[in-house]
A and B are shown apart, each in its own frame.
Chain A
Amino acid sequence: MTFQSILFKEKEDRLAEKSLQELDFFIDLNLDQIVAAITTGKEEYNLKPFFYNPLSRLSAIQYRQEIMQDLEKEDLFQNITTFAHKMRRMRQHFSLLEKLDYLYHREGWFLETVAIYCEAVSSLEQDVIQAEIHSPGFLSFKNYLSDYVNSDYFTTLVNETRKLKKELSQVRYCLQLKGLKVQVRKYAGESDYSTEIEKTFAKFKQQDAKDYSVELLPRTGMSHVEAQILRLVAKIYPELFKSLIDYYHKYQNFLDERIVLFDREVQFYISFLEFMSRFKKSGLSFCYPQITRKTKELYSKQSFDLALANKLLKENSTVICNDFFLKGQERIFVVTGPNQGGKTTFARTFGQLHYLSSLGCPIPGSSAKLFLFERIFTHFEKKEDIKELRGKLEDALMRIHSILEQATPNSIIIMNEIYSSTTIQDALFLAQRTMEKIIQLDILCVCVTFIDELASFSEKIVSMVAAVDPQDHTLRTYKIERRPADGRAYAISLAKKYQLTYDCLKERIKL
């Protein structure tokens, strides 16, 4: 297998890469926040499109999972990071070249740019040879890299670069500056006056001396005076500077396309691993999920909402993890319980886990088995749009209808507080009808709702409840537990807290 790409096993996988924008459900699942956090600081690589295109083939996902696992090893990760830094510097140099006008100056920086590239590629090859690599993808890259580094083209490039740099760095010349006159000649061993001055005054030396050297910032570019000096220096060393000019013309296309592509694409892994390490440091676990389309028996342990966790870590708050599973005929989670109890978070987590899996990324949790979906649909309650002529309920119905038209048994549907803008009887009726459809299609679904009755509607439904502290019912634990819905118990305790129970109110309201 010739190496193609570190991200795509087959050319077809890349062809599937078509979406350049966030998918519809990105905002509902807070995936937009996750992708933004992952790619921040890596804008130059334009990584976002990689995150917008889920893979549809198991083999393609496995290809990435294995590469990701190789890169999780500290050494290889460091090697790639180092390589990336060097390549970044190389690119910065390269983009600078076209702004340079003076003879020998532009050629000098070109030499510098090539030297950085050669060094970056050579050391990467050295590092990769020693690294422990198991993934077919990375092994294939390793072979490609070795072949390239040992090719005649590259070895000649390295040698010529090294020789020229060495010879140029050995050039020594003297300037005599007096008034407006500048004289240039070879350096002939004149003694260092600063050292002599230092010696003369050495006997007064006490303790540590303050540093009076002025930090003279390197000049950007070159002035005409320096260019003139450089031309005179070139006159003193004519052959050397002629070979520099020849080199410049010979190696205009020194970059290898596939290595340049690798440099960009490998950042998909690096950026995710960097992001992931923040959570691992706080004791949260990640795992490579088992992915299947054969069964809808799923599970996930110790999983959490990555977007929320990212926010909580910044505030030094604790992240609560949750487990879930579906077995046998179970397909649907109906989540009930108090507001602010973690219901929506649970729904989002379910969606995020599946989506990240389809990218070949590790997911939050200690272990998981997830479904290889074709599409994800979400319906989250939106704020009323004044321009929208239809009412809220009508809008919801339209959207759900459209989802159900497109959905197949390989879809995932996530619904949050549907039909909340109507009476409870209406809502119950509509929700039951919707559920029937979903059950009929055998679709995986999470449904967050205030309608307790939905939780026991079908055998395919699993009831999940946002738990409260058994001692103080006003405290949320953010745990989502698998048990029958009991939303009302909570309301009494909250009423007591605000002195709104019958007894309280009787006391408070006096005639």
Chain B
Amino acid sequence: MKVFLMYPDRYFNLEDKLPPNEKEIVQDLEINTLIDAMAWGDEFLWEVAKKTILGGCYGDDNLEVILFRQNILKDCINNASVIKEIYQLVVDTIQKRREYFLGYFNRFPSSIVYSSVEFLNMLTGMLRKMKNIADLYADQFQSEGFRRFFTMLKEELEENYLDKIQGHLNELRFNNGVLISAQLGKGNEGTSYILRKFPRKKKWFQQIWSEKMPVYSFQISPRDEIGCRVLGEIKDRGLNLVANSLAQSADHIYSFITVLRLELAFYLGCLNLHQKLQEINTPITFPKPVDSGQRKHSFVGLYDIVLALTMHKKVVGNSLKMDNKNHVIITGANQGGKSTFLRSIGLAQLMMQCGMFVPAESFTANICEGIFTHFKKEEDVTMESGKFDEELKRMNLIVHHLTPNSMVLLNESFSATNEREGSEIAIQVLKALLEKGIKVFFVTHLYEFASNYYNNRREDIIFLRAEREENGKRTFRMIEGEPLPTSFGKDLYEKIFVGKEKTELEKLKC
């Protein structure tokens, strides 16, 4: 019984490797806020969501997987209550396991048999419930993944089969005693004790023993403690294999349950997130991914989902139409929403690549085989030269893992040195990335670099500028525009310093 809901042809694996730049990307894109909104405090959902979203960093979850998940997610959104019921059933079963768990530590096969039989009884009950749900709701599901899942439940858990299991479980209580075969090992000591099935219909001693097959017997005294222990041991040796089979079977069914939980958890997280976004009435859309060989990046109303979740309200979205272009260079006013924009680009790409909906009115982009971030580290307190060194070291690591068709998000990179040097390095790095076909979004204040690129006018580069109205007010929108020699830091200075002076003056007046 295989449950493939995350991939068309394989299991989702929590042990799968995280991308090498996990730490940076989680921090730079503030992914934990997104994951929190999916997990609702549930550790397991959190873990799965994190793994899945970061799995989006690897573009190897190709088009097929993305669309496979999108369809399942659509089914989930349309049948949220059924999905939640199944998930609850699974979670309840997993919790109940603890009641039977003690027996598994037992050193005696006979007690392993006992606790496994009880546990299997419980699991069989759960399977019946699961099958009933399948019978009731299967028709409402459209996706390939769910149709296959429900068909499997119906086929594999036929009434007959469930009854057969029940029959075995009853027999394994051994009301007629146990029948064990053996042979002679070294020193004529009994060995290879194997549990045998009592022949059906006639009892075996009636049937065979009458035909001149001698039967010898003896009985031990109830006071013979050693004798009783030895008999118990022989029984244990006979039951060892079946104890193993039963415990493994219980494990297998249990693992079917845990796999189901694992395969469903991501979608549960998406449902949770969906509900949150509905509360603040902000749009979502299922993106249209295109092959990684193409260059496409177009969207309407793309907003920073992390910002929306944090502020718990709708936030400004941006639109862009960009075909056959590789580089986006973003300049413009401080506090103008450049970082937010950059983050929304990264998050949307990740969400698309792991099969989720994205925070936009519409969204299409080519798949990137790797997503990397290189953000200025504000908290770095080392000396300037050390800081620049650190910056280049991180860049070196990114380049180490870079494949063609990757995407790199640069936020004020190479700014830990003077502008001339920073620009020179930026020019050289960007030139190489451009030639290698790497998609780059670069937020920068390096005017020398930006203007150099702008003046050379390349078809495959787009220049965006954070919008600033005449009065210095920011709209948090990115508009196409040439880089300007100032980033309007003066505005900020005035807002903070001059503003403060004013209030202090007013205070003095009082």
Q: Which residues of A come within 8 Å of B, CB atoms?
A: 100, 104-105, 107-109, 112, 168-188, 190-198, 200-201, 203-207, 209-214, 216, 218-219, 222-226, 228-230, 232-233, 235-236
Contacts and interface: CB of A to CB of B under 8 A. Distances in A.
Contacts of B179: 174-176, 190
Contact of A236 (B214, B235, B247, B252): B214
Given A105-B187, A105-B188, A112-B186, A190 B234 contact: no
Contacts of B198: 190
Contacts of A218: 189
Given A190-B204, A204-B252, A206-B255, A109 B226 contact: no
Contacts of A108: 184, 186-189
A103 to B, nearest CB: 10
Contact of B189 (A105, A178, A190, A201): A105
Contacts of B243: 212-214
B433 to A, nearest CB: 41
Contacts of A197: 168, 172, 242, 245-246, 249
A61 B268 CA distance: 85
B253 A204 contact: yes
A353 B253 CA distance: 71
B289 interface: no
B41 interface: no
A214 B217 contact: no
B7 interface: no
A182 B219 contact: yes
A223 B230 contact: yes
Contact of A203 (B156, B215, B235): B156
A501 B350 CA distance: 78
Nearest to B167: A200
Nearest to B235: A177
How many residues of B sit at the interface, in one of the four size bands? Answer: 35 or more
A203 B1 CA distance: 6
Interface string B200-237: 00001100110001111111111000111011011111
Contact of B182 (A175, A193, A203, A210): A175
B342 interface: no
A95 to B, nearest CB: 14
A184 B216 CA distance: 5
Contact of A182 (B197, B218, B255): B218
A296 B48 CA distance: 85
Contact of B197 (A105, A183, A196): A196
Given A172-B183, A193-B196, A212-B112, 10 more contacts: A181-B217, A185-B213, A201-B253, A206-B2, A210-B248, A211-B244, A212-B247, A213-B244, A214-B108, A230-B190
A107 B189 contact: no
The majority secondary structure among interface residues of chain A is mixed
A172 B209 CA distance: 16
Contacts of B182: 172-175
B458 interface: no
A192 B230 contact: no
Nearest to A115: B186
With most chain A CB atoms within 10 A of its CB, the pick from B220, B237, B245, B253 is B245
A188 to B, nearest CB: 6
B195 A226 contact: no
A196 B161 CA distance: 14
Contacts of A219: 189, 233
A188 B208 contact: yes
Nearest to B227: A225
Given A204-B252, A209-B248, A229-B190, A178 B168 contact: no
Contact of B245 (A173, A194, A230): A194
Contacts of B1: 203-204
B204 A107 contact: no
Nearest to A178: B177
Interface string B405-444: 0000000000000000000000000000000000000000
A112 to B, nearest CB: 5
Given A105-B188, A209-B251, A214-B240, A235 B216 contact: yes
Contacts of B218: 181-182, 228, 232
Contact of B259 (A176, A188, A206, A213): A206
A177 B180 contact: yes
A100 B187 CA distance: 10
Contact of A235 (B214, B237, B244): B214
Contacts of B217: 181-184, 232
B109 interface: yes
A10 to B, nearest CB: 43
Given A173-B181, A198-B249, A216 B189 contact: no
A480 B332 CA distance: 82
B180 A175 contact: yes
Contacts of B172: 197
A204 B219 CA distance: 41
A424 to B, nearest CB: 67
With most chain A CB atoms within 10 A of its CB, the pick from B107, B109, B196 is B196
B249 A204 contact: yes
A224 B227 contact: yes
Given A108-B189, A226-B190, A180 B108 contact: no
B240 A206 contact: no
B361 to A, nearest CB: 42
A482 B251 CA distance: 78
B178 interface: yes
Contact of B234 (A177, A214, A232): A177
Which 4 A-B residue pairs are closest in the complex by CB-CB distance?
Answer: A178-B177, A108-B188, A201-B249, A204-B252
Contact of B244 (A207, A212, A226): A212
Contacts of A180: 219-222, 228, 231
Contact of B230 (A112, A168, A178, A226): A226
19 contacts: A171-B184, A176-B178, A176-B180, A178-B176, A180-B221, A180-B222, A182-B218, A187-B181, A190-B198, A190-B204, A192-B196, A198-B245, A201-B249, A210-B247, A211-B244, A223-B226, A232-B216, A232-B218, A233-B184
Contacts of B454: none
A232 to B, nearest CB: 4
B188 A168 contact: yes
B231 A177 contact: yes
Contact of B236 (A168, A214, A222, A228): A214
B216 A176 contact: no
With most chain B CB atoms within 10 A of its CB, the pick from A175, A188, A232 is A175
B183 A171 contact: yes
A201 B188 contact: no
B188 A107 contact: yes
B110 to A, nearest CB: 10
Contacts of A226: 189-190, 230, 234
A236 B104 CA distance: 39
A174 B180 contact: yes
Contact of B252 (A174, A177, A206, A225): A206
Contact of A185 (B190, B215, B219, B222): B215
Contact of B112 (A184, A190, A214): A214
A107 B184 CA distance: 13
A180 B216 CA distance: 14
B186 A214 contact: no
With most chain B CB atoms within 10 A of its CB, the pick from A174, A186, A219 is A174
Given A180-B228, A212-B247, A212-B248, A104 B196 contact: no
B165 interface: yes
B204 to A, nearest CB: 7
Contacts of B109: 213-214, 216
B241 interface: yes
Nearest to A209: B248
A228 to B, nearest CB: 6
B183 A182 contact: no
Contacts of B187: 100, 105, 108-109, 112, 222
Nearest to B110: A214
Nearest to B191: A218
Given A197-B246, A212-B247, A181 B184 contact: no
